[in-house]
Structure 1
Amino acid sequence: MARIGMFGGFSRKKQALMHGTAQPQAEQIGLSDGRWRALWQRLARLLGQDRALVLGVVLAAVAALPALVAWAPQMTDYPSHLAGYKVALDHGEDPYLTRYFVFNWEWTGNLGVELLMVPMAPIFGLEQAGRIIVAMIPFLSGLSIVAACRSLGRKLGVGPILAFAMIWSPSLLMGFLNYSLSIALGLFTFALWVRLEDRPWRWAVMVPIGFVVWLCHVSGWGVMGVLLFGYEWSRRRSWLDWRPFLKPWPLIFPLLPMLVGMGANSKVSYGRYVLEYKWGILYKSMRSFDFYFDIISLDLVLLALGWALLRKRIDGRFGWAALILLVLTLIVPRQIFGGDYADYRLSTTALLVACLAIDLPIRRWMVAAAASLFLSRTAVTTVVWYQDAQTARQLIAALDQVPEGARVATAVAIPRIQWRFGPFEHFGSYAVVRRSAMENSNFALPDVHMLSMRDLSYRFADPSQRILYSPRQHIDLRKFGPARHAEYLWYIGRIKPVALPDGARILYSSENSFLARLADPSAPGT
């Protein structure tokens, strides 16, 4: 019998046993009609024979585990995104939010989760809806890897399973939700593009899909275009064949709103120390929580890629796109369209697509090794998120002392040099989420974000909450600028400050934080 799936099919005897057990079960639940019985048997065969599909779905479900064990996603930027969603969905009903914030909806290429929140937040509540979406993104990312691989008629082998290890990328751990969602949708679109190869109406399907991916995130839309171009380029007849450049034309229409300036931000910057920074984003492409573990993980992936290159087992239908994305990682500015780390996002995406290009012979031990890398990295993320969530419960208890609509200045002490992403750099935004407070760690810069402060007379937004410190450096909060405009000071950090603003009185403290009531700045003598 021909081998089916990744590990081979069942024997005829085992299939007969499987079919014999499925048929009585169908009768027990009332599926006595012949058509329903046939459908049940086909489903049983799918689950029993196509083990590769089952494995892919299981791995995709495992990818969502960190969001399921933590009471709230422990991403760096997530609390500030959540605060933005709250203001966006308020529509002027909360008098405090209306007093402090302005939210200008714009049709721009960075609206993925914002649009999902519109129907989901009223049903599940703001925080629960956010948690569901965060769990959904890695799950969809895993399924999109499976879909892209199977669309090319390939089994779920070593390369695609290694690609699973890129799901919890630095971009996702930092909280770039719209970008991560757009990459998953881009891979699904790639799979659909291949499936509809000979359909004359494919363009009519792809035009609206292109807009959907662009609305999620403009960079994901760009990656999708590179994937389709790479696929078409690998099928060219000669180096002078110009058709691969024209084939993806149905995806080009989002350029129109970009050209007329809808939601566009023209700020472009490479930052300082460009060469050092570019090298950094390459070797940090699998950065998560532990330097040695992440570097070893990257070395193992590069070793698999090198072995596939030596064996000439690189699938050009993904390989060309991976090469283009690597080049773009090196030449794209750090800041573009108002977003930061535009190139850093591409580094891990290039690695993911390169893994998809690996087409080594399928051996059980190789598949097990690739799956172990993904499972171990997901396990580390799950454990760290659970631990950070317990710390977050202690931190957020401080808000019990904060009245609705208060003015809160958050100070977060951040080591100048650290490998892991700090989960609490924007934690102060929970003051907006739960107390409708004015707070200073939000993404609320005019002409950069849709959210902005109503009173622009002083800077009260990210990164004003950050206090970078070196070893043996003392933190003195007496001159902390945002505290001059606030009623409460919320400090978060592993080291304790040596001084507080004059008149500050601590109301709540935990191992890594405290909340202090500040002296009334309008009172005489203050």
Structure 2
Amino acid sequence: MNIPPFATRRSVAPRLQTTRGSPPTLTTTTLWWACLLAISAVLLTPLAVVDVPPLLDYPNHLARAFILSQGAADPHLARMFAPRWGVIPNLGTDILLVPLMQVLPVHVAGRVIVAIALLLPLFGAAAYSKAVFGVRSAWSLGAALVVYNQPLLLGFLNFTIATGGALLLAAHWIRWRDVRPAYAVLTAALGTVALFFCHLMGVVFFAMLAAAYEAEHRGWHARRLLASLTALAPAACLYALSPLNNADVSIGWQPWADKLGQLLVPFVNYNLPLDIFTACAISSFLAICSLTGRCHVPLRSGLAIALFALAFAVSPFAVKGTFGFDTRFIMMLGFLLFAGFLPRLPRPALRLALSLFIALFLVRMTVLTAAWAQYGQPLAELRSVMARVEPGGRVIIAYITPRDAPAYWERVRDARRLSNGLQTDSHMPALLVIERHAYWPFQFDEPTQQPLETLQPYRALAERVGGMPDSSALGTLDLSGFDYLLLLDAGGEPSLATFERFRLTLLRQENAAALFRIRPAR
């Protein structure tokens, strides 16, 4: 039996199996699992170098879970926020974090969730590959190269977890759909409910992956179609009951040049040349394998890849208040590069390819871990500045933009900025809620997405402020009702003394942040 060099199967390599009179030896399957566990350990390493991972939205999500878990018992937070549970398709981290925070310290619980978001897509890609090809593929483990991607680094944890869940559920569907149809439909229906409450895109992804598999069967009939739709019915009913169903269908598009730039999304980390090289290396490798007839792409995964590529091409950038809608499809395509292809190489080429991609993975992880470790310093500075805020204080946030301080941002080498220029520190002040029990006006509380409500008069403050202002807007900003101004990336402002004209008294200054007391208006 000929098995592709990038694949393993329990029944192959009999010389590696246990023989009578000799000690047990390592099977190919055991080696595959050992590699998966080793890769997982490397992926989790950055979580050990900083207690608050520098993921853009993550501190905001963590603060919300902290409020839901402990806010009712806190006299300050109870005046600011109240739970608002409902049928909301974006509850994954809340459902997991609230009970975890009852038994674990807040920042440990948070990193447990980040670890789940890191590993679930990798395990999902491996499971989907196994279901599609019937073998365990070493190439599927290459999905580790895109585990740290732009959505993950922007803190889209619900989406990332749902992506991994969709791959796992699709693998389950392929495995059992034709063997035990009733079981497959029932478990898929339950799975789509879980995906719905984690992130709605998880249901969409599963539907597309399952549709690609179903389309492979030419003998379609009404019964098979009905069974497939039954698996999606519970999630469809939940969507009909959710507030998102009644939200305004606002759609926004971006220029094609910007859309093409999103092709790098699965590879974005902190070093642009390295990210571009990674994207080119992977796409070139698959292209060469395909052109030389050394890459197997069955119809079930080929159709899935085509579906996601088409969805990316025709989807808008923003839908119903969700931005980066089209890039969600390109992110799944990033995982399908490893889960939907099966390269078949001769042994010398196999060894060379494995060596190069392992080296590339280790280099990328070294760069990322170093960026996270370096972020420890600005995080410590931010905390030292926020320590001056008393519980119950009201803090407005402003920041120094790369446009206003290009020289400062050129010197930034930590995780405050992704390789494509996106800043990742603007939600770190959510630590005010967790560590100072203070108020900031940018807590996520969208009724269609979060189970949290901001109470009056704090809601009025948030509505008046609107979006987070940069430092150039301070002259027109109404600061009444707030006690403090926290300025992020204060090292980019050469003279903070000039802020005195905005009724601000400097209390503490660090490179990463500065805190001002807001003086009463005369």
Q: Deviations over 1:30-66 (max 9, x none)?
A: xxxxxxxxxxx6xx755x7531222122213322222
Q: Deviations over 1:326-360 (max 9, x none)?
A: 11112223233442212122212112213322211
Q: Deviations over 1:459-511 (max 9, x none)?
A: 359963242xxxxxxx4464262633311111111411653154422222212
Of the structure 1 ranges 304-313 and 404-413, higher mean CA displacement relative to structure 2 is found in: 304-313
Structure 2 residue aligned with 1:519: 519
Q: Find the partner of 1:459 among 445, 458, 462.
A: 462
Residue identity in the other structure for 1:430:
L
Structure 1 residue aligned with 2:211: 229
Structure 1 residue aligned with 2:413: none
Tell me, in whole angstroms, the C-alpha distance in 2 between the residues paired with 1:17 and 1:309: 42
Structure 2 residue aligned with 1:179: 159
Say whether residues 1:322 and 2:308 are aligned partners: no
- 1:99-248 equivalence runs, <5 A: 99-151=79-131, 152-158=133-139, 160-197=140-177, 198-200=179-181, 201-233=183-215, 235-237=216-218, 246=226, 248=228
Structure 2 residue aligned with 1:430: 431
Q: Find the partner of 2:233 among 237, 252, 260.
A: 252
Structure 2 residue aligned with 1:487: 483
Query: What SS is found at the alignment partner of 1:327?
Result: helix
Of the structure 1 ranges 417-426 and 386-395, higher mean CA displacement relative to structure 2 is found in: 417-426
Tell me, in whole angstroms, the C-alpha distance in 1 between the residues paired with 2:193 and 2:435: 34
RMSD: 3.0
Inter-CA distance 301–268: structure 2 relative to 1 (3 Å threshold) = farther
Q: Find the partner of 1:496 among 493, 498, 504.
A: 493
Query: What SS is found at the alignment partner of 1:506?
Result: strand
Inter-CA distance 69–414: structure 2 relative to 1 (3 Å threshold) = same
Post-superposition shift, 1:257? 1.9
Q: Deviations over 1:150-191 (max 9, x none)?
A: 233123233x23322221121111000001001111111122
The answer to whether the 8 Å contact 1:64/1:136 transfers is: no
Residue identity in the other structure for 1:205:
T
Post-superposition shift, 1:241? 7.5
Of the structure 1 ranges 207-216 and 334-343, higher mean CA displacement relative to structure 2 is found in: 334-343
Tell me, in whole angstroms, the C-alpha distance in 2 between the residues paired with 1:13 and 1:140: 30
Structure 2 residue aligned with 1:510: 510
Q: Find the partner of 1:276 among 249, 257, 270.
A: 257
Structure 1 residue ranges, 4+ long, deviating more than 6 angstroms after superposition:
1-5, 7-11, 240-244
Inter-CA distance 365–385: structure 2 relative to 1 (3 Å threshold) = same
Post-superposition shift, 1:92? 2.7
Q: Deviations over 1:375-422 (max 9, x none)?
A: 332322222111113321121121221110100111122325972432
Structure 2 residue aligned with 1:361: 344
Post-superposition shift, 1:295? 1.5
The answer to which structure, 1 or 2, has the higher relative contact order (CA under 8 A, 6+ apart) is 2
Inter-CA distance 268–170: structure 2 relative to 1 (3 Å threshold) = farther
| Number of residue equivalences | 489
Inter-CA distance 109–18: structure 2 relative to 1 (3 Å threshold) = farther
Residue identity in the other structure for 1:334:
F
Query: What SS is found at the alignment partner of 1:202?
Result: helix
Inter-CA distance 449–219: structure 2 relative to 1 (3 Å threshold) = same
Q: Among the aligned pairs, what percent are the same residue?
A: 22
TM-score (norm 2): 0.84
Inter-CA distance 19–78: structure 2 relative to 1 (3 Å threshold) = farther
- 1:282-297 equivalence runs, <5 A: 282-297=263-278
Post-superposition shift, 1:12? 4.9
Tell me, in whole angstroms, the C-alpha distance in 1 between the residues paired with 2:44 and 2:484: 36
The answer to whether the 8 Å contact 2:129/2:340 transfers is: no
Query: What SS is found at the alignment partner of 1:484?
Result: coil
Post-superposition shift, 1:324? 0.7
